[in-house]
Amino acid sequence: MAYYQLQAKLKNGDVVNLDFSDFNLSLNQLVEIDYFTNQYASWDFLELASKHVKQETISEIESIRISVRGKEFCYSTCFQNPYLSALFHETGSTLLVRDSHIPLSNRALIEMVEFLFTNLEQKGALFFSDYSYKNQLSTKINRYLNIQLFSEEDVREQMTLKQEIIREMSKYKVYRSLCVYRKTLDWKKNQIPRVIQRLNSQIDFKIIPKPSKIVVDEGESDVSSQYAFSWENLSGEEREEFLSEDEIKQMVKTYE
């Protein structure tokens, strides 16, 4: 039995292992599964998966997930995640890096490092509102954000933590979690409505009322509870979400 298993969860609650042996693929590792699924849009993969579920149709597949042998949690499946694509574009299918580490010289990793520290500078502790994984990365970032630079020793500690964070990011599963996090941020940005108004050139701009803040209704997020569950090990270091928020909403809209 493979350590990682790509599965289809059906609307009746059944779970079916997906076998793509006809594609001559080895899908025993997380990176192998990601390399395969990330080539597809979610809808295209659902159609492909339906052909590998005996006597089932696409309308009966609720979601695609990645189970881990001996664990109660599942990984979300990545579909056309541009940040994973950047990694695979540089490494190809040979990303099966030893010890599950990405070389620090990898351009996709370097870009992700730049993004993360810019993001932390802008968001601070708000980073954790969208990055829901409890792992060593989140622990180190929490320490990093709480350092107050009062002395040279504090500066050295911050620099040391920064290097530790970068080493954590070179682990494939950690890099992957940031890809999911970053795509979630992109999805949220695209949900903010943009209203373009044509202004009469004769209008006195001094009397134009200031636009009110746009409030995004997050009530729909409860829908995730129907599909997602979290798992935390005894040391509290890992937590994987069943599906990312954008995947959940897309799936729900499809099968209403």
Q: Are 4 and 74 in contact (CB under 8 A)?
A: no
pLDDT (average), residues 231-238: 42
Judge whether residue 205 has pLDDT over 80.
no
pLDDT (average), residues 192-219: 43
The pLDDT, as a whole number, for residue 193 is 58
Judge whether residue 219 has pLDDT over 70.
no
Dump pLDDT digits (tens) for 167-184. 999 999 999 999 999 999
The number of angstroms, rounded, from the C-alpha of 195 to the middle of its chain's C-alpha atoms is: 29
Under DSSP, the state recorded for 193 is: -
The pLDDT, as a whole number, for residue 242 is 46
* The token pair that represents 1 in the structure block: 């039995």
Query: How far is residue 34's CA from residue 32's CA, in Å, rounded to a whole number?
Result: 5
Judge whether residue 94 has pLDDT over 60.
no
- The residues that bridge with 15 in the sheet, in sequence order, are 9
Q: Are 131 and 74 in contact (CB under 8 A)?
A: no
Judge whether residue 208 has pLDDT over 60.
no
Give the phi and the psi of residue 218 in degrees, each rounded to 5: -100, 15
CA dihedral for 51, 57, 63, 67, sign (positive or negative): negative
The pLDDT confidence band at residue 28, using thresholds 50, 70 and 90, is: confident
Cβ neighbours of residue 226 under 8 Å, at least 6 residues apart? 252
- Strand 74-76: give its sheet, edge to edge: 15-17, 4-10, 61-68, 74-76
Most confidently modeled range among 57-61, 155-159, 187-191, 197-201: 155-159
Mean pLDDT of the chain: 78
CA dihedral for 32, 33, 34, 39, sign (positive or negative): positive
The pLDDT confidence band at residue 227, using thresholds 50, 70 and 90, is: very low
The pLDDT, as a whole number, for residue 215 is 41
Higher pLDDT pick, 189 / 96: 189
Query: How far is residue 102's CA from residue 44's CA, in Å, rounded to a whole number?
Result: 29
Q: Which of 79-88, 130-139, 223-232 has the lowest mean pLDDT?
A: 223-232
Dump pLDDT digits (tens) for 14-27. 899 998 988 888 88
Q: How many CA atoms lie within 13 A of 233 on its CB side?
A: 10
The pLDDT, as a whole number, for residue 223 is 37
The pLDDT, as a whole number, for residue 160 is 96
CA-based nearest residue to 90, from 104, 108, 103, 78:
108
